[in-house]
Chains A and B, each alone.
Chain A
Amino acid sequence: MFNSSIEQIPRQELEALQLDRLKKALEAAQRTPFYKKQFSDNNIDVSKINSLSDLKKLPFTTKSDLRVSYPDGMCAVDRNVIVRMHASSGTTGKSTVIFYTRKDIEEWSSLVARGLYSSGIRSEDVFQNMMGYGLFTGGLGLHYGAEKLGCMIIPSATGNSLKQIQLIQDFKTTAVHITPSYALHLADVINGEGINPADLGIRRAVLGAEPYSEATRDKIQDIYGLKAYNNYGLSEMNGPGVAFECEELGGMHIWEDFYIPEIINPETGENLPDGETGELVITHINREAMPIFRYRTRDLTRIIPEPCRCGRTHKRIDRMKGRTDDMLIISGVNIFPSQIESVLMNIPEVGNNYQIVVDRENNLDKIHIKVELYSKMFHGDIKELDSLRKNITDLLKSTIIVTPKIELLEPGSLPPSTGKAVRVIDNRKI
């Protein structure tokens, strides 16, 4: 382990540490205009928060709270001790800004290093970081973590696939940080160059920044002959590194010396017991510049109640089931794009790109799913295509209940995704 004393800390000691840090964070939060007002509006006396279960008494913090606090309404330290900021661009309105002191950056880097180690990355690895650098936390977050671990980093960032391939070959990249959609796209480009992706020698992939299914992970592992690990993060909680999958592959350890996770019913806000699926809510208890309490991530998951075989005592969260705001309601049925993806990725005749389009025609919801035919699986027979289309329709119908209309497209006709893939287009005006 990267830091076995903290990763294997007995639960009792961990909880004592959490309470201590929570109290300090509450103390610091009173210096921020946002929490000062939120606590007084809700009659919260922070000196009365004396146990971890008292955390429930605090109100939630939401994305819109962060937007309203733009640019620094949640900052708890002096401007001159801040060494960095990151921001996530909101599609609507102002972006959300996160600040870090030097200690925050160092601890975040150690946390990412801890996670990378648990996913089997070692200091001997050549780590190609194919993630966006800049205001987005994904690139720099993993960069600092991998550097802390001692890897040689290739900060190749996103795009320019031919250059990426050349770097992999020339510097013998052994580990990559990549979005799943780009990993699949890059495999097509590598194949197009007459190279078998499995011959490149990449042994580990850290997949992140977008939701993906277990079937997509399998596909990436098969194509490249590597082991791929999941991780979870969000800029409000530093960025990547909040939770990492260990080599036991049974969910992601959420580093509880930094974060207190809760699962709530997204409609009522009530806490749910471990094991039940709901919205993940996280409290950051160890960031000087910007404490955040009970942040509503809008990600749906569950806490895995059983301890992990790896010996780490930090709880695990399951792979994300979707986002509360990604959920599509089609004719009254709740559908997650991830369910559709898992079905499609298990059909060998279907290529890597797909798109879900939802329309409302005559007051009825219609779901169209566009898939590309995988050229190697085309045998020139029209009956085969008709039965493929029927097969896709039936498989999806049995998973999502509603009957989709399947459109078979030529290979390469959907826009290739080089970052966060746009998979869902909802044309309904509600």
Chain B
Amino acid sequence: MPHQLSIFAENKPGKIEKITGIIAEGQINIRAVTISDAGDYGIIKLLVDNPERGFELLKSENIAVNLKEIIAVKIEDKIGGLHEISKVLRENNINVNDSYGFITEPKKEAVFIFQVADPIHAENILKKEGFSLLSDRELYLI
């Protein structure tokens, strides 16, 4: 199952720069970034091509970081694509904690990424419903 980095950061100038600097120095490529902001602080989520290494590097710099399991679903880049998966999740009572999506070039595919309390359960349901899930390797190499 793929993972992403969750990083605690104060909401101050230079904080993202410091984190991305450590990641870049470790020759790690960032695929996607989201920031959830709670005022004075927030959580930066990084989807990278080598999350384990990123985790170790950030931890060694005394940064509060966690590796979170995520679910990455391939959806068609068309109207209603996201709606279909949302419907399945709702019908199965799966609460999405944190999500984002992006579109890959040049294949014109969309990837929907999210966190849930029980990722294995969600993964089984989505597979059963015929959705195509990305493995960690596939996702990191996009």
Contact = CB atoms under 8 A, between A and B. Distances in A.
A385 B42 CA distance: 9
Interface of B: 6-10, 15, 36, 38, 40-43, 59, 62-68, 97-98
Contact of B6 (A380, A411, A413): A380
Given A375-B63, A410-B63, A411-B62, A380 B10 contact: no
Interface of A: 192, 373-375, 378-382, 385-386, 407-413
Given A378-B64, A381-B6, A413-B10, A408 B40 contact: yes
A382 B42 contact: yes
A192 B62 CA distance: 9
Given A380-B6, A380-B43, A385 B62 contact: no
A380 B66 contact: yes
A382 B43 contact: yes
Nearest to A377: B64
B41 A375 contact: no
A381 B66 CA distance: 9
Contacts, number: 55
B62 A412 contact: yes
B10 A385 contact: no
Output the residue of A378, A407, A413 with the most chain B CB within 10 A: A378
Task: Provide the main secondary structure of the chain B interface.
Answer: strand
Given A410-B64, A411-B64, A378 B40 contact: no
Given A380-B6, A410-B8, A413-B10, A385 B41 contact: yes
B38 A382 contact: yes
12 contacts: A373-B8, A378-B6, A378-B66, A380-B8, A380-B65, A380-B66, A382-B43, A408-B40, A410-B10, A410-B15, A410-B63, A411-B63
**Most chain B CB inside 10 Å of its own CB: which residue of A373, A375, A413:** A375
Contacts of A411: 62-64
A373 B42 CA distance: 12
B95 to A, nearest CB: 12
Contact of B40 (A192, A379, A407): A407
Nearest to B60: A192
- Most B-side CB within 10 Å, residue of A374, A382, A385: A382
Contacts of A408: 8, 10, 40-41
A409 B38 contact: no
B53 to A, nearest CB: 17
A413 B64 CA distance: 12
A217 to B, nearest CB: 25
Nearest to A380: B6
Contacts of B38: 382, 385-386
A309 to B, nearest CB: 44
Contacts of A378: 6, 8, 64-66
B59 A375 contact: yes
Nearest to A376: B64
A409 B40 CA distance: 9
